[in-house]
Amino acid sequence: ASKVAREKAESTCVADGDTASYKDKAVKQVVCRIDTIDAPETGKSKYGKKGQDFGEESKAQLQQMILNKEVTVRISSPAEPGKNYGRNTCQIEIEGANIDKKMLQAGAAWVYKTFRNNPELIAAENEAKQAQRGLWANYNAQDPAAFRRMERYGGNAPKQ
């Protein structure tokens, strides 16, 4: 259940396929990690991190959907110091449609591990897989969590 009521806002920045920012009523920049999806990682050259296949395409997909548009945001878990890179976890809607489901249907993200029991999200991901849409056009698509483990542990990540 949401800890904060829905808030209408304009999306001001898309950092990657599962992170966006908006300005709240106090005109403070609020960074949100979409709570139900995990998108391919984008490169972070500033930190010497390479990007994941389809990372830039996923980011572009989210930008096309929400950047500089009015969205409805619900913070599902406020940011905690030292966790989740200081981001809130949020649900984002545009014109009454959940962005998470749209990203899954576009083949631009995976269902986040905590939500793999959500039949609607699983169905959206499976539909994109069967249609080989987006990242699913690559038969060897790698889950972002596995990619992050590979980056951290130099290729000694457990297989999924």
Residues marked as catalytic: 33, 41, 87
The amino acid occupying position 29 is Q
Count of alpha carbons within 13 Å of 38, Cβ hemisphere only?
Answer: 18
Which residues are CB-neighbours of 76 under 8 A, at least 6 positions away? 2, 3, 35, 88, 89, 90, 91
6 near 72, Cβ under 8 Å?
Answer: yes
Question: Is residue 86 exposed (0-12), middle (13-18) or buried (19+ Cβ within 10 Å)?
Answer: exposed
93 near 35, Cβ under 8 Å?
Answer: no
